[in-house]
Structure 1
Amino acid sequence: MTLGSRATAIGGGSLLVAGAAVLALLAILAGVALGGADPVTGERTLVVTDDDGAELLATPVGDETEIVIEYTHSVEKTLVRDVYVASDDGLVMTRMEFSSFGAGLPSQADVTERDGRYVYDPPSTTYETLHLKTGAVADHDLIVGGERYDIAAMSDDGAVELTVERR
């Protein structure tokens, strides 16, 4: 059977659909060849936006890159570190490190003690969007792969959202 006879056997509408699929594939290939971003295979990127949606930070993150939100507990005045890794579904919390059992900290959880601090290994929870209200007392910092960002200052002590995108 030749292409012409197959198209006739299938019907003219199917030939149009096949033609459209070929054109779509060519458009994708042209975009990649011209340097266009592929949203499926692009680089995983941590994006921080303020409460108005303005982008404050975009930084690449790998599978093992630790993303740490570090702050001072408002009552205990001790350092707290919430540690995450990026996935295609968002941010996965891997542990919390703290020095005392203050309000909002996991006082009933099974913790271990490492280097004089408590470490909580939570059940795997993924956050598609992580909402965070920064403040002058807590003085939130974001640490990505060892690079430190003062997100409290970047957001004027406002709210931020952290998401993971392919770019």
Structure 2
Amino acid sequence: MNKQRAKRLLLGLLLASFLLIFLLPLPTLLVGEQQGATVLAIPLVLDKSFTYEYLHSVLKTPVQENFVLAPGNDLLLESTCYQSLGVGTPFLPGEGELENHNGLYVLKGQNRIFHQLNLGLVDFTEQVILYRGTRYELADFFTSGSLIELQVKNITFAKFIWLTLERR
């Protein structure tokens, strides 16, 4: 009788754990066309930060904007890295603390909060989202001229699986 009860209890705990994990909301970076469907979902579970990388449209040099998840699922721009100073690159003292690391400029302490990021996809800018060593080339998901929206929402693991399967 005790073995039977222990098995039921264990099975009940496993089922409850599975349901909890499956239905637990996870902060997820959702990428889609503005006013359109989500085409890329990246759970921000193991790491709460990601990088948006692109080629500067005027200088044609790489830029990396480093974001971290902030309270309320907002995005906090922590720093920007770039290789040349010029039109459109931040450098004023009020924009943060600019450091020069042998030609790599790092602007720290920007502390700008965004509820969402709105981007326009342009072919030659090679726009990428970097998360834990994986590169998500936006041109693989969108056509040139697309208006793209990035935002973080809490979604369940079940919803994440649905979005992933729906994309295929």
Provide TM-score, normalisation by structure 2. Answer: 0.70
Cα contact 1:65–1:144 (8 A) shared by 2: no
Using the aligned pairs only, state the percent identity.
27
> Structure 1 regions of 5+ residues with no counterpart?
1-29
Q: Which has the higher strand share?
A: 2
Q: Deviations over 1:75-114 (max 9, x none)?
A: 1111100010123331111100001112221132431022
| Bigger Rg, which one | 1
- The 1:74–1:35 alpha-carbon spacing in structure 2 relative to 1, beyond 3 Å, is closer
Q: Does 1:119 align with 2:119?
A: no
Which residue does the alignment assign to 1:101? Answer: 85
Q: Which has the higher helix share?
A: 2
Matches within 5 A, 1:143-162: 143-157=130-144, 158-162=146-150
Distance in 2, Cα, partners of 1:34 & 1:111: 45
Which residue does the alignment assign to 1:75? Answer: 58
Cα contact 1:78–1:100 (8 A) shared by 2: yes
SS in 2 for 1:152: helix
| One-letter amino acid matched to 2:51 | V
Indicate the RMSD between aligned Cα atoms, in angstroms.
2.3
SS in 1 for 2:86: coil
Which residue does the alignment assign to 1:133? Answer: 120
- The 1:123–1:156 alpha-carbon spacing in structure 2 relative to 1, beyond 3 Å, is same
**Equivalent in 27, 33, 38 of residue 50 of structure 1:** 33
Which residue does the alignment assign to 2:3? Answer: none
Cα contact 1:63–1:86 (8 A) shared by 2: no
Q: Deviations over 1:13-64 (max 9, x none)?
A: xxxxxxxxxxxxxxxxx9x9587635xxx11111001134111100111374
- The 1:125–1:34 alpha-carbon spacing in structure 2 relative to 1, beyond 3 Å, is closer
Q: How many residues align?
A: 134
Provide TM-score, normalisation by structure 1. Answer: 0.71
SS in 2 for 1:137: helix
- The 1:52–1:119 alpha-carbon spacing in structure 2 relative to 1, beyond 3 Å, is same
> Structure 2 regions of 5+ residues with no counterpart?
1-15, 156-168
Cα contact 2:54–2:127 (8 A) shared by 1: yes
